[in-house]
Structure 1
Amino acid sequence: MTLSLHAAGRRRLLSHSLKFATLALALSTAWVQPATAQTYPNKPIKLIAPFAAGGAADTVARILVPKLSEALGQPIIIDNRAGASGAIGSAFVAAAPADGYTLLINLGPPHQTVQFFTKGVKYDPVKDFTPIAQVATAPQVMVVPASSPFKSVADFTAAAKTPKALAYATSGSGSSQHLAGLLMAHKYKLSLTHVGYRGGAPALTDVLGAQTDAGILVLSNVLPYIQSGKLRALGLVENHRSKSAPSIPTLAESGLTGFSVPDTWVGVMGPKGLPPAIVQRLHADISKTLRNPDVLAQLQQAGYDVAEATPAQFGKQLADSTEIYRSIVNNSGITPE
């Protein structure tokens, strides 16, 4: 009888100990989560722009960073890591600790499409990143030098149906610009040669110098040259006009009936596994920054359409557009090299 009472007592003691340990763990977890949000950030943040200085991602980063640094209370260091259509900088972020101190500001495409063109990409564009905030859309426009004989889309397509291929410059393989050219060539039976650069800035230099027949480039980068008469805009590749330059028609409006590619976004992401508290803090402060009148004016003046999205909406858009572009690439018969 005595042994039975001792055994029962030990069982009760063990049960109480397990309940206490479970409660302690729950309380510690509940304490850690808000603490992460309260203490982050407590040191400078590195923002990787995976294209050359002067390109679209870099341009948006330099508009956002001053006010975003103020909101976060820490310096943000822009680090341009160009190459491989953004894959070098993106791979760096994918491999970084998920602590919120290494972030990526990128364009999509080529974020989700470089895998279709380049072998050995060391990350999954959807699974290996945490969407934080879509900042804006970056309209893409087809341009020719002012000295070009092509005064319209009809002139360009007529010339592209002759045996001699026309060359078009873009910021790199896998960009929405490249994909727009692929879709154009496939849909309208045009003879086009893609010339990809390491970013929009060097591509723009060669288009201005008439080293290529045309360019499909980010509107924000070429708008000053369109306005000054050094470049001629043939049309936007999306299915709608840009708020920042409403006088420029789409290619569909200009004669390529039914032509368009999805919007190109500029967004901020982190490595996979970024704690929700950090994602929420960053998203809230980016949204606050985008509502700043000076930031909004600078983005619009540079040719961007501000287009916020929640992390969940951003993630869905990333996954859905990946499949749309996969179809364009497959129809073009392209395989990774």
Structure 2
Amino acid sequence: MHGFVLLRHHATAGPSHNAGTHLDLPMENAMHPSRTPAPLRRALLAGAALLAAAGPAAFAQAPAYPSKPITIVVGYPPGGSTDLTGRAVGAELSTRLGVPVVIENLGGAGGAIGAQKVASSAPDGYTLLVGANNEIAINKLVTQKVKYDIKDFTAIGLVASQPLVLVAGTNTGVKNLAEFTERVRKNPGKFSYGSSGVGTSLHLAGEMIKEQGKLFMTHIPYRGVAPLTNDLVGNNLEFGVFVLSSGLPHIKSGKVVALGTTEAKRSTVAPDIPALAESAQYKNVDIGTWFALMAPANLPKPVAERLKKALNETLESPDFRKRMEASGSTVASTSVDVDRFLATEIAKYKKIVEFAKIEE
């Protein structure tokens, strides 16, 4: 079938500027088709026949979403917790949406390179971000190098979270949170704690612990978790903050000592480790790492609703839950108001950044 175009000509008050296409029909001809000139009548009838033959397809809209592969961008190399989360989400969305989902790892700048790509992409639902709080909510607060803002995204939903854990090196002799607090308070400035980098959620957690406990420790930023782990296990660093899934193997092997997790309640992944908030001194400590599914701003509402439905079905999947728990994460509730959650988290991070004067 040949395509066709329906043109709408807008009438003007003055004479036509193209005499060759100007046509005046008396009103009586319009009211009585039999008086319409024969050539025009035949043309109108032919056009009507063509439209009838074309049927509803002639007015078909764009294909229903999704109609082609979707790309999920992860702002880190393969193998980390954000990547594992992205791949788990991608597999579920592919099944539920009926199209392939490709994972694109764009590591660098603490996840900001990948987030920037999604923020700058067309809002059509075919380029999404599975990101952590670092690139979604923290980076903009600590560096001017980040050009995107939370307003440049449409939040589809929260996916999962992981608590962080405060640990001590075995050479400190510290066995619990009370001993940690006493030791650091009696020796202000003597001890250091490490994180995976300036402005990361691990760094902010360390500063929140310092603020709540009225402690003076020096922060040592490492270039990732691997060198941080090496120094803690090698007893070259007294204290550190880990993502629970990264620290748990070393805790279980006795190479480091767990002092407490950083979310308000104990983790279901490691319920034997107390939450710092169980101590009156640290009752307001509530910070972790979370992962969310994001799309560019101005995403059409039907596309956003389709993605939210697929994500909610994913979060309720027992297989997905098992997969996430195996990686140390707790799956988010489908009842979370993600926009309100993000606003609350950003406000919390801003206070910590201002307290610690964090700037990169």
Task: Tell me the TM-score normalised to structure 2 length.
Answer: 0.75
- Which residues of 2 match residues 180-199 of structure 1 at below 5 A? 180-199=205-224
- Which residues of 2 match residues 129-208 of structure 1 at below 5 A? 129-161=153-185, 162-208=187-233
Match of 1:317 in 2: 341
1:42 paired with 2:59, answer: no
Change (3 A) 1:322 1:297: same
Residues 284-336 of structure 1 deviation map (CA, whole Å, 9 limit, x = unaligned): 222222333222112123221111346x81112111221122122222334x3
Paired residue type of 1:286: L
Amino-acid identity (%): 37
Change (3 A) 1:233 1:275: same
CA contact (8 A) 2:167 2:256 kept: yes
Match of 2:351 in 1: 327
CA–CA distance in structure 2, aligned partners of residues 264 and 224 of structure 1: 18
Change (3 A) 1:122 1:56: same
Paired residue type of 2:79: G
Paired residue type of 1:318: L
Which has the larger displacement, 319-328 or 65-74? Answer: 65-74
Which has the larger displacement, 233-242 or 270-279? Answer: 270-279
CA–CA distance in structure 1, aligned partners of residues 132 and 158 of structure 2: 10
CA contact (8 A) 2:94 2:100 kept: yes
Match of 2:325 in 1: 300
Change (3 A) 1:253 1:83: same
Match of 2:19 in 1: none
CA–CA distance in structure 1, aligned partners of residues 181 and 193 of structure 2: 12
CA contact (8 A) 1:137 1:304 kept: yes
| Alignment partner of 1:234 out of 259, 276, 289 | 259
CA–CA distance in structure 2, aligned partners of residues 76 and 166 of structure 1: 47
| Alignment partner of 1:91 out of 107, 111, 116 | 116
CA–CA distance in structure 2, aligned partners of residues 78 and 196 of structure 1: 29
- Which residues of 2 match residues 3-82 of structure 1 at below 5 A? 32=61, 35=62, 38-43=64-69, 45-82=70-107
CA–CA distance in structure 1, aligned partners of residues 107 and 235 of structure 2: 24
Tell me the CA shift for residue 167 of structure 1: 2.7
Tell me the CA shift for residue 214 of structure 1: 2.2
Change (3 A) 1:174 1:79: same
CA–CA distance in structure 1, aligned partners of residues 344 and 155 of structure 2: 14
CA contact (8 A) 1:136 1:307 kept: yes
Tell me the CA shift for residue 205 of structure 1: 4.5
Paired residue type of 2:328: G
CA–CA distance in structure 2, aligned partners of residues 68 and 139 of structure 1: 25
| Alignment partner of 2:240 out of 208, 215, 238 | 215
Paired residue type of 2:319: D
1:269 paired with 2:297, answer: no
Tell me the CA shift for residue 280 of structure 1: 2.0
When Rg is computed on C-alpha atoms for both structures, the one with the higher figure is 2
How many residue pairs are counted as aligned between the two chains?
310
Paired residue type of 2:87: R
Which has the larger displacement, 273-282 or 62-71? Answer: 62-71
Paired residue type of 1:327: K
Match of 2:37 in 1: none
Change (3 A) 1:146 1:154: same
1:256 paired with 2:256, answer: no
Gaps of 5+ in 1: 1-5, 14-26
Tell me the CA shift for residue 163 of structure 1: 4.3
Which has the larger displacement, 181-190 or 230-239? Answer: 181-190
Q: Secondary structure at the match of 1:111?
A: helix
Q: Which has the higher contact order (CA 8 A, sep 6+)?
A: 1
Q: Secondary structure at the match of 2:103?
A: strand
Residues 100-144 of structure 1 deviation map (CA, whole Å, 9 limit, x = unaligned): 2221111224521212211221111x2011101211121111123
Q: Secondary structure at the match of 2:267?
A: coil
CA–CA distance in structure 1, aligned partners of residues 84 and 224 of structure 2: 12
Paired residue type of 2:82: A
Paired residue type of 1:270: A
CA–CA distance in structure 2, aligned partners of residues 165 and 272 of structure 1: 47
Paired residue type of 1:49: V
CA–CA distance in structure 2, aligned partners of residues 152 and 246 of structure 1: 16
Q: Secondary structure at the match of 2:194?
A: strand
Paired residue type of 1:144: A
Gaps of 5+ in 2: 1-23, 32-55
CA contact (8 A) 2:312 2:334 kept: no
Tell me the CA shift for residue 235 of structure 1: 0.2
